[in-house]
Amino acid sequence: MFNWEDLRYFHAVAQGGSLSAAARLLQVDHATVGRRVTSLEQQLAGCLLDRQARACVLTPLGEQVLQLTRAIEHHAFAIERAADAERAPARGKVTLSVPPVLVNTLLTRCMFDFRQRYPEIQLTVVSQPGVVSLTRREADLALRLVRPTDDYDVARKLGEMPFSLYAHNDYRYLNDPARWEFIGYEEQLARMPHAKWINEIAGQRPISCAVSDIISQHQAAKAGLGVASLPQFIGDSDQELQRLPYTGAGFSPEVWLVVHADLRASPLLRKVMDFMTTAVKTTLNC
């Protein structure tokens, strides 16, 4: 029987694509990762990785082993979730994944109220544009702007987040739509639905600057750099900005609250879910 710990190191390399990435993930040194993978290969009498200069490519055997380790990982996390559900604590730590646009507006408004109501709960907020995995315990709960597709996720639609066009009150072309300049996204984000919507509206009109997130777009609009597309709950509350007329197709992503099916009955998570449901609906006027 091979060493299960070696299998964990191999899985990290397959996930990260290199020994260095696996070392960072596991918080060990590069040599330890290499030694562990070599040990597993020796025990299996087969090559799992083609070690190249900057990456590790899975061999056919490595691909097979990776599929099996994913199943093992899934069941390992399922055991943890079963234990959590059995204990059913009403206090403790909860990790909530939130898109940056919401964490910088919604949560800053309600975190104090949450702490006052639930001092027994330590809420950790993870803000990143990517989608975290609830199955892999990267978070306990998640607010998302797209409908979840994972079979193990249970989702509740909280409402929609309508966008409109905004510009500074003193924007030089405020009343001359033909000369509007738009604040868009940088090229690597051009495939995002929001980025596509902005580009469609702009048409042949120029993009004055490109940024990486909505908060930066908001600040660029306040600086008078052009027309920004912002959630209405952000733009309408800023007295320096003016909502601009637009009669074309709108953009209104859905907001979903997501929990893993195994944990949806947890008293601890229920408290957070109920609070966030009310907070989001109040913010979005749902």
What's the pLDDT score for residue 207?
Answer: 95
| pLDDT reported for residue 103 | 82
- Token pair listed for 82: 């079963």
User: In CATH terms, are 4-85 and 92-159+253-284 the same topology?
Assistant: no
Using CA atoms, how far apart are residues 235 and 243, in angstroms rounded to an integer?
7
Strands 207-211 and 182-185: parallel
pLDDT recorded at residue 111:
85
CATH level 2 (architecture), domain 163-243: 3-Layer(aba) Sandwich (3.40)
Average pLDDT per block of 10 residues along the chain, 286 residues long: 76 82 81 84 84 83 83 66 58 86 78 90 83 82 88 89 96 95 92 93 95 93 96 94 91 93 85 92 80
Between CA 157 and CA 147 the distance in angstroms is: 8
Q: Where are the domains of the chain?
A: 4-85, 92-159+253-284, 163-243
Q: Which superfamily is assigned to 92-159+253-284 in CATH? A: Periplasmic binding protein-like II (3.40.190.10)
CB burial string 30-48: b at 16+ within 10 A, e below: eeebbebbebbbeebeeeb
